[in-house]
């Protein structure tokens, strides 16, 4: 290869490198801008939903007769401080720190909703679940509460059933090992449609009015779809449109981001 050819090749490589750097910078800017917009929208949602118009970020309320809050809620320091305090409902159980066999949430309660048998959840999420059912009913949607809190022994029995019926490899994709199930935390639920029970606990549940409503509205009550389609490699669990998880005030941020809980926490951290 001649000198001219080498020089031409070198210039071409430099041009490609500069282009790559430019594209990386551009995508980083766009991503950051989108994240900022999502955070700002979430903060505005929190402000509008607070009692007496009090801003939970700034903890200020000039007048409880006013629903308008005047404060600087868009500084990154305030937002990051606020978000860092919203992690109580974001726990992900992993193999290195499983729940013990005797772990039980502090208080388990039943909910006044249409349900299979008598399900229980952690007291901290019961009101939000009932509010979500009531809101759906007002829209003509009849949600069905299939499963809530599961003890270690119940999860173990369910896990063994899956293993015996489908084999260990398939069971690992269907549900979590005993001690690794978020149902044991009392803040995960399996939901269905009372009018289409034949679709419950099946991927075809995603064709029901109940699922469509949950997709659009569950975040308003602090709930997110836990194991979405196309994210199986990240969550470790097969697509489960019936599985919802309470995450509280950060539900809108997660919903807007389109990320799984795992992805969201990795990004946040």
Q: Is residue 90, in this structure, part of any structural domain at all? A: no
Residues 8 and 59 in one domain: yes
pLDDT value at residue 13: 64
Q: How confident is the model at residue 52 (pLDDT cuts 50, 70, 90)?
A: very low
pLDDT tens digits for 242-265?
A: 999 999 999 999 999 999 999 999
Last residue of a domain, one of 27, 51, 84: 84
Q: Which pLDDT value is given to residue 23?
A: 47
Q: Structural domain tally of the chain? A: 2
Q: Is the pLDDT of residue 51 over 60?
A: no
Tell whether 73 and 153 lie within a shared domain: no
Residues 78 and 152 in one domain: no
- Asked whether residue 203 is assigned to any structural domain, the reply reads yes
| 41 part of a folded domain | yes
Confidence at 268, pLDDT banded by 50, 70, 90? confident
Task: Output the pLDDT for position 8.
Answer: 62
Position 1 confidence tier, pLDDT thresholds 50, 70, 90: low
Report yes or no on 91 lying in a domain. no
- Report yes or no on 93 lying in a domain: no
CATH number at residue 112: 3.30.1380.10
One domain, residues 155 and 234:
yes
On whether both 129 and 69 belong to a single domain, the answer is: no
- pLDDT for 181-235, tens place per residue? 999 999 999 999 999 999 999 999 999 999 999 999 999 999 999 999 999 999 9
Query: Tell me, what's the pLDDT at 269?
Result: 72
| Own/partner long-range contacts of 229-234 (Cβ < 8 Å, ≥24 apart) | 231/260, 231/263, 232/173, 234/260, 234/262, 234/263
**b/e 12-38 (16+ beta carbons within 10 angstroms → b):** eeeeeeeeeeeeeeeeeeeeeeeeeeb
Residue 99 lies in a domain: no
Orientation angle between helical segments 209-217 and 123-138, nearest 10 degrees: 120
Same domain, yes or no, for 80 and 138? no
Domain end point (choices 49, 84, 119): 84
- Work out the number of other CB atoms within 10 angstroms of the CB of residue 269: 7
Residues forming beta bridges with residue 80, ordered by sequence position: none
Q: Are residues 173 and 227 in the same domain?
A: yes
pLDDT digit string (tens) for 58-104? 444 444 443 444 444 444 454 444 444 444 578 888 788 899 999 99
201 and 264 inside one domain? yes
What is the band of 120 on the pLDDT scale with cuts at 50, 70, 90?
very high
- Any domain includes 193: yes
One domain for residues 15 and 133: no
Q: What is the mean pLDDT of residues 137-151?
A: 98
* Share of residues in the chain with pLDDT > 90 (%): 62
Radius of gyration over every alpha carbon of the chain, rounded to an integer in angstroms: 23
The stretch 166-192 carries a mean pLDDT of 94
φ and ψ of 69, to 5 deg: -110, 130
| Shared domain check, 168 and 69 | no
- Report which DSSP code applies to 133: H
Nearest to 117 by CA among 174, 190, 183: 190
153 & 225 share domain: yes
Residues 126 and 239 grouped into a single domain:
yes
pLDDT at 7: 61
Domain, as residue range, for 27: 3-84
List all residues 6 or more positions away from 147 whose beta carbon is below 8 Å from its beta carbon.
116, 119, 183, 189, 190
Q: Say what the pLDDT of residue 89 is.
A: 72
Q: Is residue 92 part of a domain?
A: no
Q: For residue 219, which of 8, 38, 93 has the smallest C-alpha distance? A: 38
């Amino acid at each position: 290869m001649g000198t001219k050819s080498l020089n031409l090749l070198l210039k071409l490589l430099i041009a490609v490198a500069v282009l790559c750097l430019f594209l990386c910078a551009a995508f980083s800017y766009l991503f950051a801008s989108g994240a900022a917009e999502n955070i700002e929208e979430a903060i505005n949602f929190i402000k509008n939903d607070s009692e007496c118009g009090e801003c939970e970020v700034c903890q200020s309320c000039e007048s409880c007769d006013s629903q308008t809050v005047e404060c600087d809620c868009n500084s990154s320091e305030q937002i990051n401080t606020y978000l860092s305090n919203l992690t109580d409902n974001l726990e992900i159980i992993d193999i290195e720190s499983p729940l013990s066999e005797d772990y039980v949430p502090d208080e388990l309660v039943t909910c006044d909703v249409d349900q299979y048998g008598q399900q229980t959840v952690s007291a901290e999420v019961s009101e939000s679940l009932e509010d979500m059912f009531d809101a759906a009913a007002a829209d003509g949607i009849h949600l069905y509460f299939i499963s809530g809190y599961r003890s270690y022994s119940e999860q173990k029995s369910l896990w063994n059933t899956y293993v015996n019926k489908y084999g260990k490899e398939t069971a690992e994709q269907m549900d979590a090992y005993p001690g690794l199930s978020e149902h044991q935390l009392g803040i995960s639920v399996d939901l269905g449609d009372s009018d289409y029970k034949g679709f419950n606990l099946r991927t075809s549940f995603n064709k029901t009015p109940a699922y469509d409503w949950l997709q659009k509205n569950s975040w308003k009550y602090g709930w997110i779809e836990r194991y979405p389609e196309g994210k199986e490699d990240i969550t470790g669990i097969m697509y489960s449109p019936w599985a919802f998880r309470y995450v509280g005030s950060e539900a809108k941020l997660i919903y807007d981001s389109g990320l799984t809980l795992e992805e969201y926490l990795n990004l946040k951290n």
